[in-house]
Structure 1
């Protein structure tokens, strides 16, 4: 049996977090929801397959958390409102592997997860 792949999610939106967890489960993954930058960094030692960030929920200093995830070899997927161009640009500058609008995240979530959990 293959090892369970873990996704860390800084995703306070219940609709998105539930959908992520359900889809990850069908792919043999497990979602661990976190509520702070520090909690993401603390949990990097479990070697997650992916970190997902809701750009509307990030806290000051989140860029350093992304850098620590990248140093640990963990890909980071960020999503947020398409109108928040500044947040999308900041996420790209911080080193996120993918930055998508909420609408694309919602529609393309199965493919996005498959990419990191396959």
Structure 2
């Protein structure tokens, strides 16, 4: 089996929303992996391929310290956090943890395919 050139890591336990993300990844022909914790995400990171980490800010097992460590240990990792636009505290916490981009869930959902393509095709 050959190694993928890029991969979408999905940190989201919402089955319905996660299926929307995996559908967009399939449509764009990206491989993907769903993880349920920042610890699992860390185990899947591979600096030899282009990866994007999608972080659902409603994820119950979200560990902010581990998320910050992920960004420190993998500085080229593109990470996109999304959550309710009214949850300003979580959106700010994601920025403080080092997420590359933070956006309301509605924008993320509406522009999902474009967001994935931009994250996985930009030069590091």
TM-score scaled by structure 1?
0.86
Q: How many residues were matched structurally?
A: 118
RMSD: 2.2
Equivalent position to 2:90, from 84, 87, 91: 87
Q: CA deviation at 1:41?
A: 0.8
Unaligned segments of structure 2, at least 5 residues: none
- The answer for the alignment partner of 1:43 in structure 2 is 44
After TM superposition, the structure 1 = structure 2 runs for residues 7-86 of structure 1, keeping only pairs within 5 Å, are 7-45=8-46, 47=49, 49-59=51-61, 61-72=63-74, 73-86=76-89
Structure with greater proportional helix content: 1
State whether residues 56 and 82 of structure 2, in contact with CA within 8 Å, keep that contact through their aligned partners in structure 1: yes
Which 4+ residue blocks in structure 1 deviate beyond 4 angstroms?
Answer: none
Unaligned segments of structure 1, at least 5 residues: none
TM-score scaled by structure 2?
0.82
Q: CA deviation at 1:111?
A: 1.2
- Corresponding residue SS for 2:53: strand
